[in-house]
Amino acid sequence: MGTNNRGTLIIVESPAKARTIEKYLGAGFAVEASMGHLVDLPKSRLAIDVDNGFQPEYITIRGKAKVLKGLQKAAGKSKEVLLASDNDREGEAISYHLMNAIRSKQPDVPVKRIIFNEITPQVIRDAVSQPRGIDEAKVEAQKARRILDRLVGYHLSPILWKKVKNGLSAGRVQSVALRLICEREQEIESFVPEEYWSLEVELRKGKGVFLAALHEYRGEKIDLKTQSDCLNIVSELHGQEFLVSEVKETQKTLRPRPPYTTSKLQQEAANRFGFTSRKTMQIAQQLYEGIDIGSGRVGLITYMRTDSTRISPVALKEVREFLAKNYPDELPDSANHYTSSARAQDAHEAIRPTYVANTPADIKTSLYADQFKLYSLIWERFVSSQMKPGRSSTTTVEVRAAEALFRASSTSIVEQGYQKVLRVLAPKNAKKALPRLEAGDILEAVRFHPEQHFTSGPARYTDATIIKILEEKGIGRPSTYAPIISVLLDRYYVVRKNRQLAATQLGRIINKLLTEHFSELVNENFTAKMEKRLDEIEGGNGSWVNLVEDFYRDFKPQVDHVMETLESIKGVLDEPTDLLCEKCGRPMVKKLGRYGFFIACTGFPECRNTKPVPLAECPRPGCDGKIVARRGQKGRGREFFGCTNYPNCDFVTYDRPTGSTCPHCGQFLVAKEDKQRGAYKACINPDCDYLHTHESEDKSA
């Protein structure tokens, strides 16, 4: 911690941000980092006086005392202190607690607050020249949120410990997200795929060949259930004349999309690059806090936690000047403006580049690959949002043969408009162009293409889709989407499967208990109302004490009732096995642990012998081993299923055994899923073509 010699001390949250800002301000300023919160509720007790207005008991976080003392000492050597934590509820609370801590030791040193939306020289200098006081309403909204979460966690967790399993916990907002994920899992499991067929015909005019899909038959929309339905139509159409009955062209205006909000950026990065929400926010934080691009260290994007599409007049002027120079034909007469969501707090601008002149191509060598990807998204989306619309043309051709109507279409871009600037966000190639056709043309039917399909069930949530649904329902805020997902994963209530979020057995048990006994708490509408009331407090239109009182009045009696009346299910999930512990000879049982089911000795804690749960018999001839779940790379790699007789038997599959055996060959069935069939079961035996769908399972039961 350096000396300041009566200059100005600025306190930010992270060292990276401190380094960037210090270079902008030069002599007379020292910039230090608080490393996030320094003061919070203690972990070891409730620390909320529920009998005295729910007053919280704040302490210095364990391990942070040295940092806080250093900041207090540095403040004593300064003529003033400017608190520059993030401009949101958490940041305001950090500044509030720092102000109190500094004033308690250095009462004569002025302490003020500064805020900014981007880390660029002019914006930082402007912020320093316009300090203000702490926003008490924001602090109260954060206090209410923190107290609510503490009350929920510290009252529900003991129920879970006593009734389910030691070490479990539940959160206020995360439990709602868990409910959504569990409900989706139930929908997937109950879904029964249905077979249907499509029919296309390959048509030729001269050298031009294209495919047309059957759209109507005998004046009705097609509904082909079986292969024979298709083949009956094919047989009727053989030898028939295929006549172009109509060719029509339609134009469509392609409007640019608004610059990113937090949720939309997380969704785009997940869909485009497979980034988790946590990874997206980590990279965005790096771009915001500052990157050395050769000419110096600069914050490349504005603040990345926002629900607004608003753009500042200065940024609009800059981007319009950039477009006038580089894309003059695509510059609209006036700036494009976008409407934010009705729930948006609009505290910050949309996410945009701080300097539009820093094109992705110009600074690519200064960025890591993932930083470049995310910056490209943000830059392209912002610049394109201020360009003219594009225009597409779609040609649709209808072809009649006997009582069948076939249809084909092709789309092309007539005017690129805003798409001229897109690289990473460039749309996928349009369909292959149709040959020149006119009404009355007779075409040659080359061949028919009947194809089998299966209806698809609902897909599991991904980071992108769960964030989308949380935003739509008003659950959480831009700063909480990534932490909600992370907490569920860390608690092993949810796992990732091929980038999808699937509820574990443990997650389902917790969700069942919460939905049955605390239905209001995990109700999405109730949670959204709580978020709205927190927003009202932040806007100075509500009391944090009233909010907490209203919640606790109904919550505490329900907690007491459940604790008293709910039967414990501890050990209920334990299943006896016919295995004996090879270390002590006592029986072994199947138990549910933090990471799923496992086999454990009943002699615990004297004997701590455990082993994986056998999922199936090894299918290798002559092998008496069991198939168990394993992970490579010291437990951190992809899950696979292998034989317990390894290395003598090297059988491995990445498909999870289902616990069922094939009625054709006797080997075990594995769970599979694809776009055609949805979820289904198939035999592990490569020489057996048995597919075990929901329908056939019912018939064989």
Domain limits of the chain? 8-134, 246-396+411-435, 575-700
Neighbours of 130 (CB within 10 A): 11
Percent of the chain with pLDDT over 70: 94
pLDDT-derived band of residue 700, with 50, 70 and 90 as boundaries? Answer: very low
Which segment of 1-15, 62-76, 193-207 scores lowest on mean pLDDT? 1-15
**pLDDT score recorded for residue 674:** 67
Contacts of 259 (CB under 8 A, 6+ apart): 309, 311, 338, 350, 351, 352, 378, 381, 382, 385
pLDDT-derived band of residue 699, with 50, 70 and 90 as boundaries? Answer: very low
**pLDDT tens string 480-491:** 899 999 999 988
**pLDDT score recorded for residue 530:** 92
Q: Which residues carry out catalysis?
A: 303
**pLDDT score recorded for residue 613:** 86
Residue by residue, DSSP assigns 10-34 as EEES-HHHHHHHHHHH-TTEEEEE-
**pLDDT score recorded for residue 182:** 96
Pick 427 or 333 by higher pLDDT. 333
Residues in the chain: 701
Looking at residues 145-173, what average pLDDT do you find? Answer: 91
Looking at residues 135-155, what average pLDDT do you find? Answer: 95
What sign does the CA torsion over 216, 217, 221, 226 have?
Answer: negative
Residue by residue, DSSP assigns 192-254 as ---EEEEEEEEEEETTEEEEEEEEEETTEE--B-SHHHHHHHHHHHTT--EEEEEEEEEEEEE
**pLDDT tens string 239-273:** 899 999 999 999 999 999 999 999 999 999 999 99
Q: Pick from 224, 196, 108: which is nearest to 676 by CA?
A: 196
- Residue 695 confidence (pLDDT) above 70: no
Contacts of 548 (CB under 8 A, 6+ apart): 54, 144, 147, 148, 151
Q: Pick from 405, 409, 360, 414: which is nearest to 382 by CA?
A: 360
**pLDDT score recorded for residue 153:** 92
Tokens matching residue 74: 């540095």
- Residue 694 confidence (pLDDT) above 50: no
Contacts of 514 (CB under 8 A, 6+ apart): 156, 170, 175, 178, 179, 521, 522
**pLDDT score recorded for residue 339:** 87
Q: What is the CA radius of gyration of the chain?
A: 31
**pLDDT tens string 494-504:** 988 878 999 98
**pLDDT tens string 585-604:** 999 998 877 667 789 999 98
- Residue 533 confidence (pLDDT) above 80: yes
Q: Pick from 595, 629, 601: which is nearest to 615 by CA?
A: 629
Cα 670 to Cα 654: distance, rounded to the nearest angstrom: 9
pLDDT-derived band of residue 79, with 50, 70 and 90 as boundaries? Answer: very high
The H or E element containing residue 49 is strand 48-49
The H or E element containing residue 447 is strand 442-454
Looking at residues 50-59, what average pLDDT do you find? Answer: 95
Q: How far is CA 337 from CA 312, 316, 323, in A?
A: 11, 10, 16
* Side-by-side strand order, sheet with 657-661: 657-661, 668-674, 678-683, 691-692
Looking at residues 537-553, what average pLDDT do you find? Answer: 94
Q: What region does 417 belong to: left with phi over 0, alpha with psi -120 to 50, or beta?
A: left
- Residue 673 confidence (pLDDT) above 50: yes
For all residues of the chain together, what is the average pLDDT? 90
Cα 424 to Cα 595: distance, rounded to the nearest angstrom: 38
CATH class of domain segment(s) 8-134: alpha beta
- Residue 636 confidence (pLDDT) above 60: no
Q: Pick from 50, 17, 49: which is nearest to 32 by CA?
A: 17
pLDDT-derived band of residue 659, with 50, 70 and 90 as boundaries? Answer: confident
For domain 246-396+411-435, which CATH number applies: 3.30.479.30, 3.40.1050.10, 3.40.50.11900, 1.10.290.10? 1.10.290.10
Tokens matching residue 2: 């350096």
Taking a C-beta distance cutoff of 8 angstroms, is the pair 380, 423 a contact? Answer: yes
Looking at residues 618-642, what average pLDDT do you find? Answer: 80
**pLDDT tens string 309-365:** 999 999 999 999 999 999 999 999 999 999 877 666 667 899 999 999 999 999 999
Q: Which residues pair with 630 in a beta bridge?
A: 640
Taking a C-beta distance cutoff of 8 angstroms, is the pair 118, 134 a contact? Answer: no
Q: How far is CA 307 from CA 222, 359, 450, 474, in A?
A: 44, 24, 47, 11
Pick 335 or 579 by higher pLDDT. 335
Pick 688 or 159 by higher pLDDT. 159
- Residue 150 confidence (pLDDT) above 60: yes
Question: Mapping DSSP to helix (H, G, I), strand (E, B) and coil, where does residue 690 land?
Answer: coil
Question: Mapping DSSP to helix (H, G, I), strand (E, B) and coil, where does residue 375 land?
Answer: helix
